[in-house]
Amino acid sequence: MKTFNEFSTAVTDHFIQNIIFIDDKAYNSNGPKDQHEFDAQEVTKIFSKKGKICAVYKPQLVSDLEYLTSIANKSDVTILDWQIVLDEEPAENNSQNDEEDAEEDDVRGVYTKKIITSLLGDIDNQHCIKLILIYTGEVDLPNIASEINAALNEKNISGFSINQDDPCTVMSNNCKIMVISKANGGVGRAQHLPELANKTKSYEELPDFISLQFTEMTSGLLSNFAMESLAEIRRNFHHILTLFSKEFRRSLFSASNFVT
């Protein structure tokens, strides 16, 4: 017989269906192999083996943030890079690579904070369960969490604070923003900051890590029942829809118009 925690984890895993990544290093097959690189193909393969829909988006222009925020609003879990380098307009000359641009103008966190504040500042999301991960090649994870918390305060998005037990996490009653480290740089990176040791996650570790964090946010008898019910409705939605014939839907529409 499953324990309650095991049951909660299974319910959460069943509920979580779509995960999106936003990383400007995605699909850079010829890019530099460093701690910031991101293998979109490998990530999507790992999540697909877990039965999850995983989409990876590579923003290129500042204007891309608007539609990406809209997509993030619809996802169960959003995973963002911290260092995102974008162009204001389509570049005519791409002779400089992203790393050179970053050295010229440090935009670390600028666009990530914009996505987060836009997402959480939406009135429709104020009471929604949200899990956001910052998946970064940086090493000062607590400072990133502090910057995110400050950005939320500046935008008057209330209810958030740094988790007292985890300086790399910003939380509210229904939202968790966690800063974790990419594993690309190897074990040597953990020597810079001791807290990197348990904050570094490989691609293979992400699915189970996400399920665990979501479970901690939602664990409870009633919430488990609600999530399991919603997951079943999601899974059987197209079948449920076929139970209602076109004629029935037309009749219902006509009746509603008559009432109004």
Using CB atoms within 10 A of its CB, is residue 163 exposed (0-12), middle (13-18) or buried (19+)? middle
Kindly report, as residue ranges, where domains of CATH 3.40.50 are found in the chain.
4-88+105-219
Rounded (to 5) percent helix, strand, coil in the chain? 50, 15, 35
Supply the angle between the helices 110-121 and 64-74 in degrees, to the nearest 10. Answer: 50
Tell the CATH topology of 4-88+105-219.
Rossmann fold (3.40.50)
DSSP states of 168-222 as a string?
EEEE-SSEEEEEEEESTT-GGGGGT-GGGTTTEE-GGGHHHHHHHHHHHHH-SHH
pLDDT at 215: 86
Q: Kindly report the pTM of this predicted structure.
A: 0.78
Distance in angstroms (rounded) separating the CA atoms of residues 179 and 209: 13
pLDDT band at 37 (very low <50, low <70, confident <90, very high): confident
Rg (CA), the chain: 21
- Which is nearest to 145 in space by CA: 170, 118, 109, 122? 170
- Give the span between the Cα atoms of 164 and 202, in whole angstroms: 25
Q: What is the pLDDT of residue 183?
A: 87
The Cα 141–Cα 106 span in angstroms is 17
Q: What is the pLDDT of residues 80-127, one digit of tens each?
A: 999 999 988 765 555 555 554 444 467 789 999 999 999 998 877 767
Q: Is it the case that residue 169 has pLDDT exceeding 80?
A: yes
- Distant-in-sequence, close-in-space partners of 65: CB < 8 Å, separation ≥ 6: 59, 86, 111, 114, 115, 118
Per cent of the chain over pLDDT 70 is 68
